[in-house]
Amino acid sequence: MLPIITHPNPILRQKARELTREDILNPKFKKLMADMAETMLKKDGFGLAAPQINQSIRLVTVNNNGEIAVFLNPKILKKSWRKNIAEEGCLSIPNVFLPIKRHSTITLEFLNLAGDKQILKTKDLLARVLQHEIDHLDGILFIDKAEKIN
């Protein structure tokens, strides 16, 4: 299991770099992804972004009902005007749970493990988790957004 970096470590505030095809095909990278997914499951996280394991790269893993999904260089193409509010937590900010407003539906572009471009339209919990994790890649934490609700 990998150690989880916690707030206020500066790596959580950096903009993570894009992955290259060489990164994606590197066996070390595959090992890192597997370790990251295992860490996420053991910690009962809905999702994990690479900066949380001290890697400033654009890699996100998500636990979608026990099934692990990996998103490389994820980018939100479209966001619904409709938003909803739900309580969120973060493995990097233990014991803090706050209501956060997120877009209800998003359309996402990302690379899969083979380095091929994929498009995914998703809503509700998965859309929320992906917005939270992609924020991590841009150095944004959910506590930043909580303040804007009132």
133 flagged as catalytic: yes
For the CA atoms of 125, 143, 12, 68, the dihedral, rounded to the nearest 10 degrees, stands at -10
Q: Which residues contact 109 (CB under 8 A, 6 or more apart)?
A: 74, 75, 77, 117, 118, 119
Where are any strands of DSSP class E within the chain?
47-49, 59-64, 67-79, 83-90, 93-103, 105-111, 117-123
**What is the greatest pairwise CA distance in the chain?**
46
Which residue lies nearer to Zn ion by CB, 24 or 90? 90
Read off the tokens for 81: 């005007």
Query: Exactly one of 12, 50, 72, 90 binds Zn ion (CB under 5 A); which one?
Result: 90
Q: Which stretch binds Zn ion (CB under 5 A): 2-10, 13-21, 85-93, 114-122?
A: 85-93
- Distance of closest approach, residue 115 Cβ to Zn ion, in angstroms: 26
Comparing every residue's Cβ against Zn ion, the nearest one is 90
Site membership for Zn ion, residue 100 (CB under 5 A)? no
Chain positions 14 to 73 lying near Zn ion, rule: CB under 5 A, are none
Contact 35, 83 (CB under 8 A): no
Q: Which stretch binds Zn ion (CB under 5 A): 58-66, 76-84, 87-95, 106-114?
A: 87-95
Exactly one of 18, 22, 133, 147 is catalytic; which is it?
Answer: 133
Footprint of Zn ion on this chain (CB under 5 A)?
A: 90
Which residues belong to the active site?
133
